[in-house]
Amino acid sequence: MTTLVQEIPIHRLDGTPTSLADFAGQVVLLVNVASKCGLTPQYTALEQLQKTYGDRGFTVVGVPCNQFLGQEPGTPEEIAEFCSTSYGVTFPLLEKIEVNGEGRHALYAELTQVADDGGHDGDIRWNFEKFLVDRDGNIVARFAPTTVPDDPAVIAAIESHL
């Protein structure tokens, strides 16, 4: 992630303007999330990562997206309530955006240029695709939606950048 990407404007779920510059100096795991997906239980492991590594300069950042079979239909308030009551989510959530297609948010236009370990770059394949960004803002890893947050490869990548 370049300085330019860190400066791409986006909003928090509550509508407050922000950018990834707010997380400068931290290792960030960006995840496009959805509340009505078969992969939604990954919220549990994402929150555990937040609790385990949060005090070491790490944060998960959830980015709701409704592009995959309408699996994130809620309002910002409904999304926040679901995440809090169902999974005890404490990590930041950004506004609901599009991650693919003509309406793709500028943040994902940059993220999707990076390939995962299987060589996949380009479009996000499904909910819960993950991008690891180091303390300097470089995109250092991409993980498939089905790669669980507590997969040894994800843990090793996080730990190597803390």
111's tokens: 């993220």
Catalytically annotated residue among 10, 37, 144, 155: 37
The Cα–Cα gap between 90 and 84 comes to: 7
What is the rounded distance in angstroms from the CA atom of residue 45 to the CA atom of residue 85? 15
Please give the structure tokens belonging to residue 115. 């390939």
Q: Answer yes or no: 37 catalytic.
A: yes
| Coil/strand/helix, residue 11 | strand
CB neighbour list of residue 140: distance below 8 Å, 6 or more residues apart? 132, 133, 134, 157, 161
Hey, which residues are catalytic here? 37
